[in-house]
Structures are given as C-alpha cells and as structure tokens.
Structure 1
Amino acid sequence: MELADILRQQEKAGLEQYGLNLSQRKVWRAITACRTAALGGHIERCDQCRMTRHIYHSCRNRHCPKCQSRTKDQWLAARQRECLNVPYTHLVFTIPHALNGLAASHFRLITDILFSASAETLLAFAANPRWLGGVPAITLVLHTWTQTLQRHLHIHALMPNGALDEDGQWKQSRRGFLFPVKALSKVFREKFIDALKLARIDGRISKERMDDTASKQLLLELRQHDWVVYAKAPLGGPQQVLDYLSRYTHRVGISNERLLSFHDGQVRFKVRDNAHAGKKRIEQLSTNEFTRRFLQHVLPTGFKRIRHYGVLANCHKREKLAQCRLALQMPQPQPAIIESVQAFMLRVNQIDVLCCPHCGHGTMQVIDIIVAVKNRPVLTTGPPP
C-alpha cells in the first residue's frame, strides 16, 4: 500500500478535476513512476544460483515518500561538519489559520514573510546583550501540513544556546534557558504583520485579492489571535541534535507507513492525535479529498524549504564557523566523504545489496540495462512484459 497506488488509480479517472499546476503535475508523474520501468534501470543476475532481478531507478523527488532516506542522510552528513559542541534548542513558529486563504493564493509571499519574521526575531533577541549579544547559528525548516494533511504553516527552528560576539568570542546562554517565549511570540507577530502590511502597500497583494475591508478584518483577527512560539527544552550535543533534526528536514506530508487501506473510494491512514496525548487513531477520507489535501502541500519549483541565517548564512558561513570552533576550542571538521549506495544500505538497513537474496552466497552482477521510456503509462513495479 503506497501513495503511488492511490495516485495511479486517480490518474485513470482523469486529472482535470484537480486543476493541477506545473509543479503538481511534475510531482504526480514522479511519484507514480518511481522505481518502475518508466524510469529505466538495470537487470542483475547472481553469479552462483543465476537468479535474476529487475532494479528500477528512483524519482528522487522531494515529495516522494520513497526517496528521502538517501537525500536526508547526505544532507545530515554535510550538517554534521557545521554542528557546534554546545546544547541546542528547538523552537516552532506558527501562524494563525486565518492566513490559510491568503497562503493558498500567495504561497511564496506568505512563506517568505514567515521565514524572515522567524529569523529576524531570533536574530534580534540574540543581538540583545541582555540575552546573548551576538550572532546565532539558525536553521529553519518549513512544514505546511498537519497529520490529517490540512494546511498548517509553521517553521521548525534549531539554534545553539549561544552566539558569536563582535570579538570572536562565544557567548553561552544561561543554563536551561534561551529566550522568553512570550516576548518572542509578541515580536514575531509584529514583524509578520508589519511585513504583511508592506506587501499590500507595495502591491504584492493586489486590492482585487484583498480590499480595504478584508485587510482590516484580517489584521483584526491576527491581533486577536494568541500567537505562540513553542520552545522545547535544550537538546544535547551535536549527535543528538542531528538525530533530532533528521525527523523534520526531509519529511513529506504522509509516509507510506501511515497508509492502511485504499478501498471503495476511501483512504484510511494513521494519525497522531495531539489533542489526546499523541495517541494514534485512524482517519478516513474520500480518495478525491485525500488527493486534494496531499497536492496542496506540493512546493513550487525551486522553493527552498530549509534556510540558514546568522553564522550559517552562505555569504560568510566558512569564516564565522571557523571563529566559532576557535572560540569553543573545537577541532576542524573531517573532509566530506562520498558514501556509496552499497555502504549506505549496509550501514542504515544492514542489507548488502550486492549479496544474492536467494542463495545468500553469490554476488549480483549487472547483465543488462533497462532504458527509460518517456510518456509510457506506469501500471506496474514488476518486470516489464
């Protein structure tokens, strides 16, 4: 039971009903073609028992639930060389659901404001001598969904409990405390609302989309809403930080493991109910509604959902990180090592992909290439006829 199965079934009924944009069409094609003959691959044969198998290429699309493990591992390996040997804190910046309608029509604008308001808030508090008095290292990750695939825009922020000051010294925060969350919430709200007002003044939000009355009503709702910045207790050292961050960086709207059944036009999947202490329950949606909800979380082409600020900003990351390591008396990171697929699978899943799964002794060898076929209907993940 996979997401691809649901999309293939819907493909037969026609895609016109969803009014797909270009990005959504690309994601649909990628997921349904992933690890099938449509993308090509190769045929392997065991040199001992002569058993053959077909290996198909992955789509490597960031929305595909089958293609994130390798990408996530490579990304985390790069981030490991940037981690500092200090405690870290995880924060979550969430905007009210009153903005969902505007986010649907102006996704890039609203998410850019969300990123900038979150980063500017953390940078401002870190620069204040009352708290740190320096420049922090900030990583922000955008999520757009709830467990039931409803729209829920929020930012996961991860930053060390300290900052680099003007003299190149590391300013550590007080033990068990970074910033006051109530003050963070107020500053975050005002920065977001100010940026939203500016966007309407300079025409990025047209008056046809939001007239004066609608604008005043939205601003009133936003100010009445209790904006909350959630902060978890400080995390451990670099390895714990990376393990924790990996849960958020390359997550997709729904994984195949959460899907339970697809029958009679109904999709059933597992949901974590945060209103009841995170207990599991089963959600059931019509196929059309499930597909619609999933598609609304497809990101535009070229959109960056992971962004870095402060010490980690690309314009001076190498220089600033070197200063942080010097101040913290940390050794320089080891050079990056490109890991083979075989080594990755052996380390992560304890599977030797070159060992014959049938006899357990032979080695699988490539004997033929499967050429990708463009515009070919994807109906099977088994050997081609």
Structure 2
Amino acid sequence: MGGIMSQFIALLGHYQAQLEQQYSGLLNQDIRRAIIDMLHCKQDESRYSQWHCGHCLHDQQHPASCGNRSCPQCLHQTTSNWLAKQTDKLLPVHYFMVTFTLPYQFRVLAQKHPKALYQLMFKVTSNLLKDFASREDKGSLGFTSVLHTHNRKRELHPHLHIVIPSGRYDASKKQWHKGDKRYLFNAFSLAKVWRGRMMEAINHHPQLTLPTNIPNKWVVDCRKVGVGLSSFQYLSRYLYRGVLPDKDIIHITDEEVTFRYKEGGTHLMKTRTLPVLKFLWLILQHVLPKGLQRVRDYGFLRGNAKRLRLQILLLLGVNVASKSPPNVMKRTSFICPCCQHIMQFMGMGRLSH
C-alpha cells in the first residue's frame, strides 16, 4: 500500500548516512525531524486513511502522509486553502508588493538561529510599515507578510514578501482613505530604516551577533502589482509544496543531481548541477523551525477582522450580500475511481500485525 516516493525523498533515504556524516554539525533538531517524517511519508504499511464514496459505496485506503510542511509530498490542499482565504479578503483596490531582503552576510545567522532571526524580520518590517503609514495620518494599513528563505538557485536567501492594498482605514472616523495606485512609500527610505532597525534588533538579541562586512545599502523593492490576486497566486506556489518540485529535478546520477530554475532577470530556464550531498543540504537548510508561522496577516487583513473588512467593503461600494464564502477544504480530498465523486474521509487506521 506504500505510496509513490518523490525523487528528493528517495535520494534522502539512499544517502541519509553520508549526509549525517558530512553535515552533522548543521543538521538541527527541526531538520532531523523533517528527514524522519519525509522518509516515512506514505511508506508506513501499518498506517492509512480510510475513505468512503457515498454515491457508489466504494471504500478505499490510502497510505498516511507525514504532514510535515517541508515534505514535497504533502500539504498541496493547504496551498489552495490559503489562496482561497486570501482571495476572500481581496479589496477592489490596487495592490503593492514590498520585499525586504537580508544581505548574504546574514546567511550564517539564518543557519544557526533561524527562528530568532526570522521572528525579528517579521517584527521589524511590520512596525516599520505601520510607522511609515502613521506619519501620513490617514489611518492604518492592512497587509500580509510571507517568509521566503531561498532564491531561484535555492541558496539561503531570507526575504519577506509583503502584499499591501492601496488605502487606509481610519477607525476613529470610520472612513476609508483611497491610496495612490502608483505610489506607496519611498523604497530607498524603507531600505535605510530597515537596515538600521534590523541591526539594532540583532544587537539587542541575546542569541544573535551581527556579522562583519555588512553593506551600507540594503535592498527593498516596492512595486505596484495590480489587483492583488496575481501576487497571492505567485506566493502560494512557494508556500506549502517544498523548496524544489520533483518536476524540476531533471537528472540524477550516483554522484550528482541536476535541477532547473528560472533566472530572475532574463526569465530563461537555467540548470544547476551539484554533488548529491551538497544538493540535499541545499534543500534541507530551508526547513523552518517548529512553531514558526511563515505567513502573517496584519491590520484589517487579520483573521479576526472579518467584520471590519465587511465595513471597508461597504465603504468601497461592494455588495457584500453577493459574496460567497471561500471554498476551503478541511483536508486533502480524493476522487472515487469508480464514479468520480468526491470521497468522504472516515478516519485514520492502523493495521495490526
């Protein structure tokens, strides 16, 4: 009953001992737990999920998934659920995406203390954006922050993508202030404050130490992205499907792995070939610490601000009565092989030996 194993997990199983020997000093508890989960995903013959078709009464068992968010075989339904929820929050305004990037000198910190560093990134950027908005005295922002840890070549490259609708809500006056669809904030000013505040936060953190040779200029990208849906679709592709899809691993030998990626500037497809162990570590270094929330909503986009969003939609002239609830599935669904209807999850089971 074991499921089909991804190429990455198959490599991981074959080279696990060598990986442990070469990278033992870098494999933290979270990475080791992810390795164990992935190697057992859909392979444990004794654990299964039970499904029933109410239309034709067909019963079926599927091997149990591990559910680890780093597993390339799991959580595809989580991606579509997140996109459905974000789509439900969309306002009929123009949107911006602001990207805050840490210089490469901070990669060592990201490897040694990922949770502390990533938490600071969320805290500093959210306070920074709120402060920039408060200067203009037009009300508060709503925004969604998403942590990415890699660049296109899959190297460690921590950055935050933050999607922000153009406009502010003034709670005291219950008014919506329309934003400029061409301009949010000055990117150079954001970058200057981002650098100063992040360095100060690291200096005051008991676990973290500033690296040497920190550049004077940091990069913040602030661009308009239209109505917002395309940005959430872009971000959703990277959220819950692993760092590298199996389809992009194009050649494997006993010594090397070749994968493809799209180059940022030219959008041309490129390939990268690495020794097997180096390739495995390249992907595993992006395993997130347990308990770290990599997607966070702020202001009127928070999960518990639904009533406030309805008020804003009314102010924007939207007929809220015609809005349908988001199509969110509670778990992965299966289609009945006999009649093509959606099957009902009946629970988890374990075979006795």
TMscore range, shorter length: 0.7 to 0.9
In the aligned structure 2, how far is the partner of 1:242 from the partner of 1:290? 29
Shift of 1:6: 0.9
Trace 1:53-92 onto structure 2 (pairs within 5 A): 55-92=62-99
Q: Of the candidates 37, 42, 65, which is equivalent to residue 35 of structure 1? A: 42
Trace 1:97-112 onto structure 2 (pairs within 5 A): 97-112=104-119
Change (3 A) 1:57 1:361: closer
Shift of 1:289: 0.6
Cα-to-partner distance string for 1:107-160 (whole Å, 9 max, x where unaligned)? 22221221122212221222222xx72211111111111233211010011010
Shift of 1:176: 2.0
In the aligned structure 2, how far is the partner of 1:364 from the partner of 1:41? 15
Q: Of the candidates 183, 187, 190, which is equivalent to residue 177 of structure 1? A: 183
Q: Of the candidates 180, 203, 207, which is equivalent to residue 197 of structure 1? A: 203
Letter matched to residue 83 of structure 1: L
User: Gaps (5+ residues) in structure 1?
Assistant: 346-352, 375-385
Query: Paired residue for 2:276?
Result: 287
Query: Paired residue for 1:261?
Result: 251
Shift of 1:288: 0.9
Shift of 1:338: 5.0
Cα-to-partner distance string for 1:174-198 (whole Å, 9 max, x where unaligned)? 1322222122211222221221222
Letter matched to residue 371 of structure 1: R
Letter matched to residue 115 of structure 1: F
Change (3 A) 1:245 1:107: closer
Query: Paired residue for 1:382?
Result: none
Query: Paired residue for 2:3?
Result: none
In the aligned structure 1, how far is the partner of 2:243 from the partner of 2:218? 24
Q: Say what the alpha-carbon RMSD is for the aligned residues.
A: 3.4
In the aligned structure 1, how far is the partner of 2:127 from the partner of 2:69? 27
Matched-pair contact (CA < 8 Å) for 1:355–1:364: no
Shift of 1:42: 5.9
In the aligned structure 2, how far is the partner of 1:193 from the partner of 1:317? 32
Matched-pair contact (CA < 8 Å) for 1:89–1:159: yes
Letter matched to residue 314 of structure 2: L
Query: Paired residue for 1:350?
Result: none
* Corresponding pairs, count: 337
Q: Of the candidates 12, 16, 20, which is equivalent to residue 11 of structure 1? A: 16
Q: Of the candidates 310, 330, 336, which is equivalent to residue 354 of structure 1? A: 336
Shift of 1:362: 11
Shift of 1:335: 4.3
TM-score with structure 2 setting the length: 0.83
Change (3 A) 1:372 1:285: farther
Letter matched to residue 168 of structure 2: A
Q: Of the candidates 122, 130, 154, which is equivalent to residue 149 of structure 1? A: 154
Change (3 A) 1:293 1:240: closer
Q: Of the candidates 218, 221, 226, which is equivalent to residue 217 of structure 2? A: 226
Letter matched to residue 185 of structure 2: F
Query: Paired residue for 2:261?
Result: 271
- The answer to whether the aligner puts 1:320 opposite 2:308 as a matched pair is yes
SS at match of 1:89: strand
In the aligned structure 2, how far is the partner of 1:363 from the partner of 1:176? 45
In the aligned structure 2, how far is the partner of 1:243 from the partner of 1:83? 12
Matched-pair contact (CA < 8 Å) for 1:45–1:365: yes
Change (3 A) 1:27 1:128: same
In the aligned structure 1, how far is the partner of 2:141 from the partner of 2:9? 41
Shift of 1:63: 0.7
In the aligned structure 1, how far is the partner of 2:179 from the partner of 2:192? 21
Matched-pair contact (CA < 8 Å) for 1:123–1:310: no
Query: Paired residue for 1:348?
Result: none
Query: Paired residue for 1:236?
Result: 227
Give the structure with higher Rg (CA).
1
User: Gaps (5+ residues) in structure 2?
Assistant: 1-5
In the aligned structure 1, how far is the partner of 2:62 from the partner of 2:127? 47
